[in-house]
């Protein structure tokens, strides 16, 4: 009826009638011709005064200068875009896959093939992931030249192609094995933004662990990641100069050569240098090397590994019981826990601290083990704070770790 092909009467019941087939087709053709003529007239009117050179310049300017944004919904469309990015990549392609992104990639065979093909043709393909024991086998489907690293600090998803395009996930379906109907991502085509994003990724990449090393967490149930130690702070040039008895000031003018003064100065420096080689720990402190901090960091790592090996224990009290057994069987001392006035762990050492500056402070490592284990187990929860306080001074009560649990209450701001 809207096209004028069918007519109806106002009677009850209504009677419908239509044109013949040939008449109806002719009517539709004429209608479409009129619409096309109006479209052509409108285009010609719009194009008046715009030269081909101007249009080409505007397009080129937009392509170079203007950042463009778009939102993609559903996982299938996002990985179709990743496929295009992999095909277009010339130098570098980075995939941030989070915990289950490798599963989604392998379930998108076209995107996976494009990523592998890009690596084969010489594109540098880097993947940062958060390893999960259930997804380890999927990494075997990647091209061997693809560099994969594990990071505990990064759990977001996204992709970066060269310095041209970035995809950043906005939302991801809670079910990792779902179809991704609720997934959404933002596409950003901007050189400056891509470059800034790459600087952030490069910083994370340096601290990430190669896949072969991180895989041991699940194949050998142990952490083989490199341990990075902080040996001290401040100016080491100043520390060495002070230790050698040299103030760092050189004469501004040449002075007459004095053999006696020359040999005397060399002798003084050599004596200071020889004192540093006596093997005393206090000499290391003079150079700015903090052995106590290094040993505590080693202890923290040991504690992290203990907590990791006990991660299958869900009950916190059972976890602490296992920790106490390990601590006592290792001959380090006595561990206790109490709930009065609040839940805390009491640390006792068989070898308590001593005041000798040249004694190796192994108590720092021993206490660091407890600190690392408790932090790994409890501090990952947003509402838990662990506080270390001094005990009563007895060797069975040197330090206490208070475990605070806070309620997370939402604060509503009103005008």
Query: If you write DSSP's letter for every residue of 339-384 in order, what string do you get?
Result: -SSS-EEEEEESS---S-TTS--HHHHHHHHHHHHHHHHHTTSTTE
Q: Compute the mean pLDDT over every residue in the chain, rounded to the nearest whole number.
A: 83
Residues 256 and 276 in one domain: yes
Whole-prediction pTM: 0.62
For 299-311, what is each residue's pLDDT tens digit?
999 999 999 889 8
Query: What stretch of H or E contains 197?
Result: helix 191-207
Residues 212 and 259 in one domain: no
Give me 206's structure tokens. 């340096």
For 61-97, what is each residue's pLDDT tens digit?
555 557 788 899 999 999 999 999 999 999 999 999 9
For 213-269, what is each residue's pLDDT tens digit?
888 887 777 888 878 888 887 787 777 777 766 665 655 665 565 666 555 555 555
Query: Taking Cα atoms as reference points, which of 61, 65, 3, 75 lies closest to residue 34?
Result: 3
Minimum mean pLDDT among 165-169, 255-259, 303-307, 361-365: which range? Answer: 255-259
Residues 345 and 274 in one domain: no
Residues 319 and 381 in one domain: yes
The residue range of the domain holding 335 is 291-405
413 in a structural domain:
no
- For 357-371, what is the mean pLDDT? 91
74 in a structural domain:
yes
**What is the reported pLDDT for 288?**
81
The C-alpha torsion from 337 through 341 and 347 to 348, rounded to 10°, is: -100
b/e sequence 178-214, b meaning 16+ C-beta within 10 Å: eebeebbbebbbbeebbeebbeebeeebeebbebeeb
Could you give the angle at the alpha carbon of 144 between the alpha carbons of 141 and 148, nearest 5°? Answer: 80
Residues 163 and 125 in one domain: yes
Residues 280 and 369 in one domain: no
Name the E strands within 54-174.
68-73, 92-98, 124-129, 147-150, 157-161, 165-171
- How many domains does one find in the chain? 4
Minimum mean pLDDT among 246-255, 346-355, 371-380: which range? Answer: 246-255
Region of 143 please: left (phi>0), alpha (psi -120 to 50) or beta. Answer: beta
**What is the reported pLDDT for 365?**
93
Name the E strands within 16-107.
16-18, 68-73, 92-98
41 in a structural domain:
yes
Under 8 Å CB-to-CB from 363, ≥6 apart: which residues? 349, 351, 352, 353, 398
**What is the reported pLDDT for 286?**
76
Is residue 317 over pLDDT 60? yes
**What is the reported pLDDT for 169?**
93
- For 138-164, what is the mean pLDDT? 90
Query: Taking Cα atoms as reference points, which of 214, 209, 215, 210 lies closest to residue 228?
Result: 209
Domain stop point among 219, 246, 269: 219
Q: At what angle do helices 109-120 and 75-88 cross, to 10 degrees?
A: 20
**What is the reported pLDDT for 176?**
85
d(CA 102, CA 137): 10
Per-residue CA distances from 271 to 130, 265, 267, 268, 276 (Å): 53, 10, 6, 5, 9
**What is the reported pLDDT for 24?**
80
CB atoms inside a 10 Å sphere around CB 315: 8
Give me 67's structure tokens. 């950042």
How many percent of the chain have pLDDT more than 90?
Answer: 34
410 in a structural domain:
no
**What is the reported pLDDT for 415?**
47
Minimum mean pLDDT among 6-20, 45-59, 345-359, 396-410: which range? Answer: 45-59
pLDDT band at residue 281 using 50, 70 and 90 as cut-offs: confident
Strands 184-189 and 209-210: unpaired
Could you give the angle at the alpha carbon of 364 between the alpha carbons of 305 and 377, nearest 5°? Answer: 30
Residue carrying structure tokens 């690596």: 119
Minimum mean pLDDT among 228-242, 284-298, 392-406: which range? Answer: 228-242
């Amino acid at each position: 009826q809207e096209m004028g092909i069918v007519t109806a009467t106002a009677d009850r019941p209504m009677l419908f009638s239509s044109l013949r087939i040939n008449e109806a087709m002719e009517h539709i053709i004429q209608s479409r011709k009129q619409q096309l003529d109006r479209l052509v007239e409108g285009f010609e009117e719009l194009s008046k005064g715009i030269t081909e050179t101007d249009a080409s310049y505007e397009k080129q300017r937009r392509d170079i200068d203007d950042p463009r944004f778009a939102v993609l919904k559903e996982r299938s469309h996002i990985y179709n875009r990743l496929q295009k990015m992999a095909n277009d990549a010339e130098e570098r392609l980075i995939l941030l896959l989070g915990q289950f992104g490798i599963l989604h990639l392998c379930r998108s065979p076209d995107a996976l093939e494009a990523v592998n093909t890009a690596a084969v043709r010489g594109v540098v393909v880097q993947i940062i992931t958060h390893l999960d024991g259930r997804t380890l086998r999927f990494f075997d489907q990647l091209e061997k030249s693809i560099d994969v690293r594990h990071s505990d600090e990064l759990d977001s998803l996204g992709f970066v192609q060269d310095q041209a395009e970035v995809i950043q996930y906005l939302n991801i379906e809670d079910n990792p094995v779902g179809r991704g109907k609720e997934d959404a991502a933002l596409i950003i085509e901007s050189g400056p933004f891509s470059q800034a994003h790459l600087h952030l990724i490069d910083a994370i990449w340096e601290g990430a662990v190669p896949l072969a090393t991180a895989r041991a967490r699940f194949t050998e149930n142990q952490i083989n990641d490199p341990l990075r130690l902080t040996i001290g702070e401040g100016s080491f040039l100043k520390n060495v100069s002070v230790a050698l008895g040299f103030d760092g000031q050189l004469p501004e003018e040449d002075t007459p050569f004095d053999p006696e003064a020359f040999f005397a100065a060399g002798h003084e420096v050599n004596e200071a240098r020889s004192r540093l080689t006596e093997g005393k720990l206090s000499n290391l402190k003079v150079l700015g090397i903090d052995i106590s901090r290094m040993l505590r960091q080693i202890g923290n790592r040991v504690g992290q590994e203990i907590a990791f090996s006990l991660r299958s224990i869900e009950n916190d009290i059972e976890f602490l019981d296992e920790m106490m057994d390990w601590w006592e069987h290792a001959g380090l001392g006595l561990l206790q826990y109490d709930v009065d006035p609040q839940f805390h762990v009491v640390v006792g050492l068989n070898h308590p601290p001593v005041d000798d500056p040249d004694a190796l402070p192994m108590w720092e490592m021993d206490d660091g083990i407890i600190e690392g284990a408790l932090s790994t187990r409890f501090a990952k929860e947003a509402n838990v704070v662990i506080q270390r306080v001094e005990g009563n001074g007895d060797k069975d009560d040197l330090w206490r770790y208070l475990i605070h649990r806070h309620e997370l209450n939402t604060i509503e701001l009103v005008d």
